Structure 1
């Protein structure tokens, strides 16, 4: 990754937060700079880093280009409310996800899709999320375990998600056949969308490589029921990678490609 990273604390921090930041810097092998009431710009200039991992009392966050990125349920909260109201969630429909099912989310990001899936799969299910960026994996895994202020069902869905820092091909190759009911990819982040400005701080940390045929082959081996990929509705990636069944909202800018296990598409 070309972007450089430094760890510091919030402007108002005591010895405990400083100790947590030092421990995290050692764990991630990333430089730590004491905040000492300096501005974030001063921290950037002193360290030469353009991305700051900031340890605060209430959360761990990333600061990129002056914007702060941290875990928040965001749109997942609205989607779960709509599911509770009996509305159709296109991703869940594409996955054919049921209570008790297992899902491997190969492109976790900020875990919005994983959180919706975890709610649907319930306590008997299992959701594993893979994130290629170590800083993003850290803020999301810690956020999922520490976030407060939501109803118990939402918090329980957060806590159930297992986060691993790994590239999906490497992780998939280590799994036995039929390990998960569904394997999911959302590589859309390679191409920015105008309405996704809230996610712009994540772009420097994202894996911009296109999804590989090898990843799809491995995911077909690992999935018991189906492999699902989210992309732009007119994307040629579906056909390049063999997702010949497409599903999504009539006017939605995104669609879900589906490969059903067994090979014969309906």
Structure 2
């Protein structure tokens, strides 16, 4: 995993402290120590205190907890933990020969390199990693340090799902960086697909499982400068997920929109071959 050790300038939406469960085992203590070191966060004793008291005592907004070999983050909006979300039924559907609108919009295939500029909890990257296979590559960029670390650990240690997902998840490369800075550092045509899901950042998505993440992410809107860089880095397509009726598709230059007739979301496509005509 690529990690920015200097967190200044990156998404830090509130002070985060690191602790353990009330009666931690040695593994959890070590996980907490590593998390505090990587995130440059304070490691504190739990002292059997509830999270509200911990926040007050240490003037913190978020509490990262290592317990039973896993990591969770407690924000003012609730508990955040890694889970594969809709990637499980989506991959199962792909295995059955059904269409996935994101995969269709990307024209994704075995061996492709895909850059996910808004990793979030990584569900879209998991689907992409399954499709591109071992000969392909998926890189997920996340500016929020705590969220990037949570997903990095979750992808590496996921043991509950079907084998075909467990084999895919560790292949995803998690990068803690600002997506614009990351794009600026990439060579031209270095990824087949560059992907954005700005919807992840906004409250219009009503999923209760996503709500605790609101305090960890920064809702920076996409802009034409960012799309221009994505176009330079992409060999074939730039793809954006948005509300089906969003005006941003046209405003940002996405010439084609793909999605289900009754789906609340759609995928805008900028195809480099079409743009060159």
TM-based fold match above 0.5: yes
Deviation of 1:100 (Å): 1.1
Q: Which residue of 1 aligns with 2:157?
A: 146
- Structure 2 counterparts to residues 111-150 of structure 1, below 5 A: 111-150=122-161
In the alignment, structure 1 residue 241 sits paired with structure 2 residue 252: yes
Q: Which residue of 2 aligns with 1:98?
A: 109
* TM-score, normalization by structure 1: 0.95
Aligned residues: 266
Aligned partners of 2:31 and 2:69 also within 8 Å: no
* TM-score, normalization by structure 2: 0.91
Q: Distance in 2 between matches of 1:128 and 1:2?
A: 23
Q: CA-atom RMSD, angstroms?
A: 1.6
Q: Which has the higher contact order (CA 8 A, sep 6+)?
A: 2
2:208 to 192, 197, 200: 197
1:5 to 10, 13, 16: 16
Deviation of 1:224 (Å): 0.8
Q: Distance in 2 between matches of 1:244 and 1:58?
A: 46
Q: Which runs of 5+ in 2 are unaligned?
A: 1-11
Q: Distance in 2 between matches of 1:48 and 1:228?
A: 40
2:71 to 40, 50, 60: 60
Q: Distance in 1 between matches of 2:151 and 2:81?
A: 7
Q: Distance in 2 between matches of 1:16 and 1:196?
A: 32
Q: Distance in 2 between matches of 1:124 and 1:140?
A: 22
Give deviations 1:120-162, integer Å, cap 9, x for gaps.
1111110000001000000000100001022221111101100
SS in 2 for 1:27: helix
SS in 1 for 2:86: helix
Q: Which runs of 5+ in 1 are unaligned?
A: none
